[in-house]
Structure 1
Amino acid sequence: MNPNLQQPDVSTNSNKPLDKKRKKRVKEWKLFGEGMVYLFPALLILGVFLFYPMVKTLYYSFFITNPRGDTVVFVGLEHYIELFKSSNFQNSLIQTLKFVLYTVPTGVIIALFLAVIANEKVKGIEFFRVIFSSTLGVSVAAGASIWLFMFHPSIGVFNNIVQTLGLEAIPWLTSRQWALISVSVTTIWMGIGFNFIILLGGLQNISQDLYESALIDGAGYFARLFKITIPMLSPTLFFVVTVTLINSFQSFGQIHILTGGGPNEATNIIVYSIYKEAFEFSRFGTASAQAIVLFFFILVFTVLQFKVGEKKVHYQ
């Protein structure tokens, strides 16, 4: 054997895979660090205005507080137990579910109807698109104030129409029978602008080739509507329904201006009940418990919607 022949450096070769893994890991951490730098402003804002208040709300729900909001006595789950025993909270829960039932389907159907009309290629349709979407530029306070005058028992537009027809004036905002319906009508009107714009955008993204093929096959208007338009619009509809559902659970401003939760707790939905408990009665612990319950209700409804509704969504 030639003594001058050198043996291969096994240790050097074996270190190469380790060096590659180490470099790959360093690169991944570097990319992660760069990503966190870009995400830091958003995470900071979310942490201050979303995550911290949620944790603080959960913390308060386990305590009795004084009027200044300082925790005094730890009560554990007592607030939650008392809530579900309370007839007032049960009434708020029922009124909230009614309010969501009144506003979500009706608001989405009306917005869809207007979007389908506005999507037609008719001369001057741009004017109606502006009109249909105009409620998006109206604040909750301004919109509720407009409807407050319209629902006025003596000078309101609706009662003037009713009395012109020879009927008795309707106590729109002072009757337990009509108050929740009146607030729901206001809420539907205020949400139409946003829903209309989103649905119109979805309609304009549907390929015209599908309609042309359907026309060649002899499909009528309603056949094209239910066989092409609705299925192809289902992702947009799914988004609109989800957002409208969440917004309905969180409605506050119009209720505060129109009815103040009355009459006789008829419009005292959970969000308004939270407001009264915290800022009128200074019971921050009970209000926080209600806020956590509302959060879980919204979470459950949203998860169910994704589990059930998304199965019927037709993605291109």
Structure 2
Amino acid sequence: MNTIDRDLPLSTTTTKPTAKVGQPPRALINQKLAETLLGYVFLFPSLLLFAIFLFYPLIQTFYLSVHETDPRGRVASYVGFDNFIAIFTSERFYKSLEVTGLFTLLTVPTGIVLALLLAALTHNHLKGMRIFQFIFSLPVVLSVGTSAVIWMMLFHPSVGMLNYLLSVVGLEPVAWLTDPRWALLSVSMMTVWMNLGFNYIVLLSGLQGIPEEIYDSAKIDGSDPFRTFIQIIFPLLSPTVFFVTIVSIIGAFQSFGQIHILTKGGPVNSTDVLVYSLYQDAFINFRFGTGSAQALVLFTIILIFTIVQFKVFERNVHYQ
């Protein structure tokens, strides 16, 4: 060993391992993981409710649709797709589908047009318009049962207000809920009124979201109110109208309460919509397998209608 090596001994230095280039520090990874876990902790109550009241019933519906149940509602045997075959070969299913389609045609366009007309008339800032806006929004606070009872009294053949008004103008009374020619129309009238509050509030909110400068510009250009609404305002309102249409069609296909209270599917099955037919099979005849299969068929029909509307009609919606 030479003098230099003896006087200046080699010192061994230890270097700390460095993180690879582009790799986040471990502390940052732990922080993101903690934030993710905290987010799932806050979401857990909602996920639990969804699992209990949505996912489990959906799985149970799939399970029951391929089984046959006894009169007590217990699973008796596996039948595969026999329940679906029985539905699609049943004349009652197609009759219920026809009634549901006609009910949708009677309620959805009428409800949207009437709500849009009322929203356009009460959109201005004249004195007293707040009172009319409050009145037209009132049906939204009433339940289906309450609305059905109110209209049941109006439809009463002897003491109902509607037949009294007909007698005042010299017309014969109408058997609103007991005549097959009038029953579906009567239920549709009640449904349009019941949904008017929600449709009116949504469409009025859409109108109020349109800037006033657009109205002023159209007035300066000499456009009359009707032309302004059709060519300028309605295209700007198309996203709101599209939303209301989707919700109204889904609600029409799921209508049950007013039909159960007013007509119970009659007379002569003239108001026997798909949901009421499902209810009778599942909870009156205790054929839960057939009822579950009908529920899945109804879900598929609504899903197809919704997808078609998004694919076909959304191209005419102007979001800006």
TM range (shorter): over 0.9
1:202-217 map, 5 Å: 202-217=206-221
Deviates more, 1:57-66 or 1:223-232: 223-232
2:57 aligned to which of 50, 53, 56: 53
2:198 aligned to which of 194, 218, 239: 194
Other-structure match for 1:298: 302
- Shift, 1:246, TM fit: 1.1
**Equivalents in 2 of 1:154, 1:61: separation in Å?**
45
Q: Label 1:29 to 1:307 Cα distance change in 2 as closer, same or farther (>3 A).
A: farther
Give the secondary-structure state (helix, strand or coil) at the position aligned to 2:21.
helix
Other-structure match for 2:92: 88
- Shift, 1:48, TM fit: 0.8
1:219 aligns with 2:203: no
Other-structure match for 1:74: 78
Letter in 2 for 1:238: F
TM-score normalised to the size of structure 2? Answer: 0.91
Other-structure match for 1:280: 284
1:135-284 map, 5 Å: 135-284=139-288
Give the secondary-structure state (helix, strand or coil) at the position aligned to 1:81.
helix
- Superposition CA RMSD, Å: 2.1
**Equivalents in 2 of 1:230, 1:5: separation in Å?**
83
Q: Label 1:250 to 1:6 Cα distance change in 2 as closer, same or farther (>3 A).
A: same
Deviates more, 1:236-245 or 1:126-135: 236-245
**Equivalents in 1 of 2:105, 2:29: separation in Å?**
52
Q: Label 1:18 to 1:213 Cα distance change in 2 as closer, same or farther (>3 A).
A: closer
**Equivalents in 1 of 2:305, 2:314: separation in Å?**
13
- Shift, 1:6, TM fit: 10
Q: Label 1:205 to 1:84 Cα distance change in 2 as closer, same or farther (>3 A).
A: same
1:33 aligned to which of 33, 37, 42: 37
- Shift, 1:304, TM fit: 1.2
**Equivalents in 2 of 1:310, 1:137: separation in Å?**
30
Q: Label 1:8 to 1:234 Cα distance change in 2 as closer, same or farther (>3 A).
A: farther
**Equivalents in 2 of 1:212, 1:151: separation in Å?**
46
- Shift, 1:296, TM fit: 0.6
Give the secondary-structure state (helix, strand or coil) at the position aligned to 1:72.
strand
**Equivalents in 2 of 1:100, 1:107: separation in Å?**
10
- Shift, 1:49, TM fit: 0.8
Letter in 2 for 1:126: R
Other-structure match for 1:65: 69
**Equivalents in 2 of 1:145, 1:263: separation in Å?**
18
**Equivalents in 2 of 1:28, 1:66: separation in Å?**
53
Give the secondary-structure state (helix, strand or coil) at the position aligned to 2:77.
strand
Give the secondary-structure state (helix, strand or coil) at the position aligned to 1:73.
strand
Gaps of 5+ in 1: none
Q: Which structure 1 residue ranges, 4+ long, deviate > 3 Å from structure 2?
A: 3-9, 21-31
Q: Label 1:224 to 1:18 Cα distance change in 2 as closer, same or farther (>3 A).
A: closer
Q: How far does the alpha carbon of each residue in 1:247-304 deviate from its partner, in whole angstroms, 9 at most, with x for none?
A: 1111111001110000011111011111111111111111111000011111111111
Give the secondary-structure state (helix, strand or coil) at the position aligned to 2:127.
coil
Letter in 2 for 1:191: N
**Equivalents in 2 of 1:44, 1:12: separation in Å?**
44
Letter in 2 for 1:309: F
**Equivalents in 1 of 2:50, 2:94: separation in Å?**
32
Other-structure match for 1:124: 128
**Equivalents in 2 of 1:21, 1:67: separation in Å?**
64
Other-structure match for 2:111: 107
**Equivalents in 2 of 1:165, 1:195: separation in Å?**
32
Larger radius of gyration: 2
Give the secondary-structure state (helix, strand or coil) at the position aligned to 1:16.
coil
- Shift, 1:22, TM fit: 6.1
Deviates more, 1:25-34 or 1:139-148: 25-34
